[in-house]
Chains A and B, each alone.
Chain A
Amino acid sequence: MLLEPGFLIVQTLNGLQLSMLLFLLSIGLSVVFGMMNFINLAHGTLYMVGAYLALSTVRWFDSFWVALALAPLGVALIGALFYAVLLRHMQRQSPMRQVLVTFGLIFVGFDAVRMVWGVLPHTIPVPETLAGRVYVLGEVYPAYRLFIIAIGLAVLAALYAGLERTRLGAVVRAGVDDRTMVAALGIDVERAFFLVFCLGCWLAGLAGVVSAPVFSIFPGMDMSILILTLIVVVVGGPGSLKGAVIGSLVIGMVDTYGQVVAPEFARVTIYALMAAVLLVRPHGLFPVRRTH
């Protein structure tokens, strides 16, 4: 069964789909951590809020595409608000405090969505244009899941271009290398960081919206994906696009194949992989190279 081409094609596409979701979630977390050594454990909560905002938008406007446009913006706005009120003051604090405060936000988010949307799971329908199935190398596969992969690849291309070709991208890369030196060049690193943080929130919201038609939406849906996302950041090495991409692909594939090949060992495989990577390369597979 394992070596049947049909099985391999479908599972690889499933793995790719999970990888792309993980990429959307991990890139923001990774760059924010790389720039400011700031750990936002509530990143998964933003993903959950994205899915719920999509749910409400679909109910009001009866359109997935309106939700796709609006819900990530809403999440970015919430992120900006939290940054201004709370997180801005947390940056100079010890990592332990950051962990505690953002860990607390997970529970705040959990209770907030429970109060607004209730405890029962919800789903939103797959948009009509993507409701069909398509043939991929002779295998039948849902079109919507290919759409998730396409969104991930499009975001990857856009982020690559943004990081490598724009001045803000250069400021971000420089900030990951040495943020004091960036400030010494007259650049307000904090402002650049704020923009990156909001973009990261937007991407987490986007991941929530696109996964809403596939997974069910419920309070606590953020936890399992948060753990996978953190593992991606650790395995890939924080601060780099390359690390987030490779980390997402490795974890997405291992998790997907693990679930079907040896479901009883699936999560163990992921943790064992992370431990192995940390033993061999303590700073992840693609650590940001520092000149000093």
Chain B
Amino acid sequence: MTAVPILSVERLGKRFPIGKGQSVHAVNDVSFEIRPGQTVGLVGESGSGKSTIGRTVLRLLEPSAGRIVFDGQDITSLSESGCRALRARMQMVFQDPWSSLNPRHSARRLIEEPLLLHAKLGAAERRARAEALAERVHLDRAMLDRLPSELSGGQLQRICVARAIATDPKLIVLDEPTSSLDLSVRAGILELLAEIRAATGAGMLFITHDLGTLKLISDEVVVLYLGSVMERAPTARIFEAPAHPYTQALISAHLSADPRHRPERIRLEGEIPSPISLPPGCPFASRCHAAIDACRAAKPELRPLPGGGQAACIRIDELNRGAGTRA
């Protein structure tokens, strides 16, 4: 795992001005990296900034601070046309397949679109490539001449995946790709993504609010709260021994479909701070059961954890001393 990262994000920040000199601080000081073939999961609740990070990384949004290095190239302030050329190597799959495809284009035309934009191919060759892509995402050839309104959610999401892999990208950002799909359809898409990752070696950024999905597909998990990283660790570590109080609460709130599995639930009380005027200290302090005065004074930096990974909590050592002996 010492390969050169395909993407490294350093202290990324994104603010949305809302007038009167104020702005929404959607993303603050977020750093992570993705190596080829690795899947990094971004998890968080609404307002955590996870989708904003995904879009900023692809330069669909302008970053306000920090650095984005993709494939050895600093793309933080690349021009619009420079970004367009980049899109062949970095792709995205969106949450809602019903609305993320042009309703007037057939499946075939939708899959051919990235080839038309990025590959110099003849019409016949493009057609053949599109059919090969459809096969790779297990989409029946008979579906290729249908419009999006004539296809099911699972079929549409397969088209989206086919579009994303058409140009052999090195990075694929997946923004809640399975959240709007039915359970068994979701399983099929996850299988497909795992298959594609094995075949292409692309790095993946998997954005979701669902921890259960991440457990299946990601190698590393980045836990976000109000635009800041709370904890970052290998997937197995996060689920076995969540270190940060917020991660613990998030995992305990997850309802497992196994009725025998009943973790002790951590209840979160208190108000969520406004992202317009973030408190100076830890953003989670207002809802944290372990918060002390020092937490509200300064924003904690990420510090390494004994079992691998990092957490942004000044009390992390004392909080996990007991847990360490328990595990």
Co-complex (A, B): no
Query: Which residues of B come within 8 Å of A, CB atoms?
Result: none
Query: Which residues of A come within 8 Å of B, CB atoms?
Result: none
